[in-house]
Structure 1
Amino acid sequence: FEFTMRHLVILLLLSSVCFFALSEVVDNNFSKCKEFFLDTTPPDFTPPAGVSVKPICQCIWDNNDKHIFLYATLYNTTWKIPVYSAYVFRKSKSIGRCDAWYIEPQLDLDPELCMRSQGYGSKIGTNQALNSDYENSGYNKGHLYPVLHTDNHLSMLATSTLTNAAPQNPDFNQKAWLGHEKAVTEDLKSCDEAAYVVTGVVPDTKTIPNKKVTVSKYYWRATCCLKNNQYTGKGYYGPDNNGQVQELTIKQLQDTLSGFYQIQKFIIFPRIPKLNQPKKPRIEFTCN
């Protein structure tokens, strides 16, 4: 695995010398939806120079014409894929699935706040992927926040926005990654409270046939929840050399992601909430 990642970085450096130049500061402000991050603190991440990202508070309009925020996404408008999506996992119910596939007008300078169906607006697609980009591409639209981890109808609908998806190998998507999502569901059911999850993708050096949307080379996930008076974190990465999902510590996952982006750090869970338990030893934080 480490051998593969090291050579991937070398290939990217050779293909574009300026691609991994000094990073530029980006406004990583999720002011309207910080509740989807552990201790309301988004991951500490700065993209490579020349790469533009946009924080999105993913929302949908309910039946009373009110917008509801359901999760958060840091979207890469250069590669047309997300960097990550962050959500709160609660014990999932059996939710049906409807792949309506929305777009985000706000990414293309439209004042609309929430996701809309495709066909909305006349200049949509400059800074984001569209359904047509995936047609006959040979790739699935791979969810970061999956339907399997939702617990209500609106959340289920909101996961099917193209800013929450990246081109994913169909075999890996429908087998190893789906199996991983089910295993995470079972694991997080044992949390004492709701769990915090951040799921992202690592871009490949190629695009799907339209030359617009970058293919995802790897998918990753980090989870953190309170179990037995201790915060427990797990990291996941795939596909590995055997086409499976590999389990890592959060620190190993962060080091791997930092190495890929050639940045000093990629901290997924920057802060821990303080717990007031004076009669017990200090609770140790292990989500790192």
Structure 2
Amino acid sequence: MSEVVDTFDKCKQFFLNNKAPVFTPEDVSLKYICQCLWDNKGQPIYLYATLYSTSLKIPVFSAYVYNRNKTIGRCDAWYIEPQLDVPSTTDQCMKSKGNNKHIGTNQALNSDYEKSGYDRGHLYPVLHTNNHLSMLATSTLTNAAPQDSDFNRNTWLKHEEAVINDLYSCDKEAYVVTGVVPDMDAPKLNNRVYVSKYYWRATCCQKGTQYTGMGYYGPDKKNEVKTLTIEDLNTKLQEFYRGPTPISIFNCQKPERKRARE
């Protein structure tokens, strides 16, 4: 259901101006994943992109393009990415419990969540998909992190619905990046998987002649979602992650023009 790659070149279309965020958390091992399904001819259909931490065993962010939503049914069969643990494998997808002794070395498994009290919190949520393939592709644990169940099912769900209402007025597709800030002090799931302290999201789209963006993160001290500018979200994330370089999710402005052919 995905490809572990060296760069996001194969799925750069899910980033504004084809440019991935400048995002290097400190002391985190990162893998680039082009999330996809495979057609009947064995060719990948790319659907979104994920930056995944094998040391935290949760994603850093998932990036996707939002188009006007229509109701999509949900499938809760969770998968994993075998290439994270067995790079030489030819398996293109695998059930979340795995069938290889190495599976789970670098990623979360379904068994980590059992009786944990945490939800598998989507970064690219089913609510923001608009076709059956995208819905299926979101059901991978590389697109989820342990999220407080009450926050996930209430406050964050209402936020995702509010984002749909905001992006409905976009004249064209919207670019969205959703990520997780790990709680470095909380007990890990199964002594392996870091839980989320904050979820965050950034959006950008064209409305009329303007390109507008918005940043969000939560829960705050009141268990709510805070709204802020993308620039302020960059600053907040830099504070959260304490990475070696400044964070820049994207510059929400008119997309760069393609160079004319010479």
Normalising by structure 2, we get a TM-score of 0.90
Query: Whose radius of gyration is greater, 1 or 2?
Result: 1
CA displacement 1:154-202 (0-9 Å, x = unmatched): 1001101001000000000000000000010111111010000000010
Contact 1:236 1:247 in 2 (8 A): yes
Contact 1:59 1:114 in 2 (8 A): no
Q: 1:66 aligns to what?
A: 43
Q: CA deviation at 1:77?
A: 0.4
CA displacement 1:231-278 (0-9 Å, x = unmatched): 1000001001111111010011000001122234110005751369xx
Count of residues in Structure 1 that have an aligned counterpart in Structure 2: 249
One-letter code of the match for 2:219?
P
Q: Percent identity?
A: 61
CA displacement 1:7-39 (0-9 Å, x = unmatched): xxxxxxxxxxxxxxxxxxxx9720110000000
- Between the aligned partners of 2:15 and 2:175, the Cα distance in structure 1 is 7
**What are the residue-to-residue correspondences of 1:1-288 with 2, within 5 Å?**
29-49=7-27, 51-110=28-87, 111-112=89-90, 114-118=92-96, 119-205=98-184, 206-263=186-243, 264-270=245-251, 272=253, 273-274=255-256
The 3-state SS of whatever aligns with 2:195 is strand
- Between the aligned partners of 1:243 and 1:45, the Cα distance in structure 2 is 26
The 3-state SS of whatever aligns with 1:60 is strand
- Between the aligned partners of 1:209 and 1:113, the Cα distance in structure 2 is 26
Contact 2:189 2:195 in 1 (8 A): no
Shift in alpha-carbon separation, 1:243–1:68, aligned structure 2, 3 A: same
- Between the aligned partners of 2:126 and 2:222, the Cα distance in structure 1 is 26
Mean CA deviation greater in 74-83 or 27-36: 27-36
- Between the aligned partners of 2:44 and 2:7, the Cα distance in structure 1 is 19
Q: Structure 1 unaligned runs (5+)? A: 1-26, 277-288
Q: CA deviation at 1:220?
A: 0.3
Q: CA deviation at 1:113?
A: 7.1
Shift in alpha-carbon separation, 1:275–1:240, aligned structure 2, 3 A: same
- Between the aligned partners of 2:81 and 2:129, the Cα distance in structure 1 is 20
The 3-state SS of whatever aligns with 1:72 is strand
- Between the aligned partners of 2:91 and 2:13, the Cα distance in structure 1 is 18
- Between the aligned partners of 2:241 and 2:6, the Cα distance in structure 1 is 17
CA displacement 1:82-126 (0-9 Å, x = unmatched): 000000000111100001111001101233474332335442110
CA displacement 1:196-232 (0-9 Å, x = unmatched): 0000010002243411000100000000000011110
Contact 1:60 1:115 in 2 (8 A): no
Q: Structure 2 unaligned runs (5+)? A: none
